[in-house]
A and B are shown apart, each in its own frame.
Chain A
């Protein structure tokens, strides 16, 4: 098998600058066909910019690579034909009805059996009886669903989803993920950005971006293991006082309150244990827990702030 048959996305050193600001800095990324790849990172870290370069909306300032086997720089027109891109901000026509929007996209892509495809798409969305409603009148969550349906209508091989579940209720989110997994099982490749940790945990693999730099990537287990982060929880009285005390110590990198517990994390386990031994009293219950993805990401972000800012 050639690289293009294995990887839907295969890029190296992709860079984008706006003025003298480097927004995406030499990113290498390989996404296998049929994989669901999660793309995470704080606001302004360059996720949207990276995706736009993948689908030919922005020209990279540096780097090379292929998307579905087509060259990122010279074959943008071919890439566009086989990619479904769902923008972060709703970008279908608010003054067109749901059906008219789907019909428009289907015509643009020259979908065979157009009327049928539109009808199927409406049925799958559960929007059959609201198809005449203007897209602008839909609630935020329904707009997201319409957008997903629209970018699937031409049966793309690669889906680029930019925060598709922002503002979507938990039940709809679960249905959305079920659908994504179904599509991936059928061979579709999905690159998806999100800020939700539960979403990240449903991806086959993850990448974490901060200030345009790719900080970590791999499966959930890989990412957690690579972070080598130690986390303790503590419950008991006067947690605010305790948190203030802990934050001053070197070796303690994060102190985060979750309801009535504090999460205390650090990458250097021995130093963290030493600090905790020093402040530990019988008034509080201490326990070591496996670090969560969120703990890991916040830790990564804080390190990134020190390194790149």
Chain B
């Protein structure tokens, strides 16, 4: 009864066949490399472009020299384009809400006086952070400007006010999007998104294609087991997944200069689990779908929440509770945290462990559903 068990020679037969077919299918292979590059360019550069001339409005309640210097410095930095006037807080907020301005810079009434007394006056920056990628650099610029401009004016006896903490205190009030996601977040995050998109679609087609081309009848007539077919179809694409990971890491390092603090071998090891999770989802879709079109539709259905609800597009904690629940069930959520953790924070195995077991669980569940749903007959 050896026939009922898994055998390596049958698995290997499927793996080799898939490799040959992948090699022959140039268009698909080009897409597998092209999609990550294209997404990197689209997301990466759209974010990386230094935003300039962002519409802003100043509400200055102080007409003193320091306030004026500061405002004029802001005007001369080309980060901002000052539009209109806002005399009241309500008017300023209206402008912000409408999107007429992206920033409101509030200078308090006794700004100059407090500054001279060394009381570190508070400048309140209100930002429309729905486009955090754009506002991030501008906010940084405001801080830098305040320090250099004001320090330049604080000369002679006033020099003591410069201090280490800077002469003024900034309070940033980010409206609509409390977390500021920067390009550092986006580029590593893209790894999860690209892998989700390509891996699920490519294996989603794997079994439906055999059905549509009629080769399934032959395959089913051989002694090959469901598990052998599924794993055999997954293994070759793990290689493709690693090519994508490498491409993205290279781009992250050389083009976007994303810091990479943590261990790359650890990242590569964990990526295996995530690639496996997506391939398992794809192959499971493939056993459920009646044809290739349905498989692609299912892949898309999976892809959308993987982009929207995982913390890639919107900050995870900013989402309503139900969305967080959905997100928690998606492998991309955990992988995003792992990648960002390893690359940006230098996390090690111990820190990422809480995100690892959900991935593992996901792989097991997806594979089981797939093996169970794999029809061994044409009924």
Contact = CB atoms under 8 A, between A and B. Distances in A.
Q: Determine the main DSSP class of B at the interface with A.
A: helix
A110 B8 CA distance: 10
A87 B223 contact: no
A94 B213 contact: yes
Given A58-B377, A80-B221, A104 B214 contact: no
A90 interface: yes
A110 B378 contact: no
Contacts of B3: 77-78, 80-81
Interface string B211-239: 00111111011111000000000000000
Contacts of A76: 376
Nearest to B25: A95
* Most chain A CB within a 10 A radius of its CB, from B14, B20, B217: B217
A81 B223 contact: yes
A3 B51 CA distance: 85
Contacts of A130: none
A11 to B, nearest CB: 17
A90 B223 contact: no
Interface string B343-379: 0000000000000000000000000000000001111
B10 A77 contact: no
Given A77-B3, A110-B7, A56 B377 contact: yes
Contacts, number: 79
B221 A93 contact: no
B8 to A, nearest CB: 10
B16 A104 contact: yes
Nearest to B3: A77
* Most chain B CB within a 10 A radius of its CB, from A78, A93, A94: A93
A58 B223 CA distance: 15
A91 B379 contact: no
A109 interface: yes
A96 B21 contact: yes
A89 B376 CA distance: 19
Contacts of B12: 107
Contact of B377 (A59, A87, A96, A108): A59
A50 interface: no
Contacts of B379: 58-59
Contacts of B24: 95-96
A91 B220 CA distance: 11
B16 A56 contact: no
B9 interface: yes
B10 A87 contact: no
B171 interface: no
Given A56-B377, A59-B379, A90-B214, A96 B221 contact: no
A22 B215 CA distance: 26
B4 interface: yes
A57 interface: yes
Contact of A83 (B10, B213, B221): B221
A85 interface: yes
Nearest to A94: B213
Contacts of A93: 17, 21, 215
B222 A91 contact: no
Interface in A80-117: 80-81, 83, 85, 87, 89-96, 100, 104-105, 107-110
Contact of A58 (B4, B7, B20, B378): B378
A195 interface: no
Interface in B167-191: none
A80 B20 contact: no
Interface in A143-173: none
A68 to B, nearest CB: 13
A83 B223 CA distance: 10
A55 to B, nearest CB: 5
A105 B14 CA distance: 10
Contacts of A110: 7, 9-10
Nearest to B23: A95
A77 B221 CA distance: 9
* Most chain B CB within a 10 A radius of its CB, from A85, A95, A109: A95
Contact of A108 (B4, B216, B223): B223
A208 to B, nearest CB: 25
A282 B12 CA distance: 76
B38 interface: no
B255 interface: no
Nearest to A162: B217
Contacts of A58: 377-379
B188 to A, nearest CB: 36
Interface string A42-69: 0000000000100111110000000000
Contacts of B377: 56-59
A76 B9 CA distance: 20
A89 B13 CA distance: 23
A151 to B, nearest CB: 9
Contacts of B222: 80, 105, 108-109
Interface in B321-344: none
Ordered nearest first, which 9 A-B pairs have the shortest CB separation?
A107-B13, A91-B218, A85-B221, A80-B223, A108-B13, A95-B24, A91-B214, A77-B3, A81-B223
Given A77-B3, A96-B17, A107-B10, 8 more contacts: A78-B3, A87-B221, A92-B215, A94-B213, A104-B16, A107-B12, A109-B223, A110-B9
30 contacts: A52-B378, A56-B221, A56-B377, A57-B217, A57-B220, A57-B378, A58-B377, A77-B3, A77-B223, A80-B3, A80-B221, A81-B223, A83-B221, A85-B221, A87-B218, A91-B213, A91-B216, A92-B215, A92-B218, A96-B21, A96-B24, A100-B17, A105-B222, A107-B13, A108-B9, A108-B13, A108-B14, A108-B223, A108-B224, A110-B9
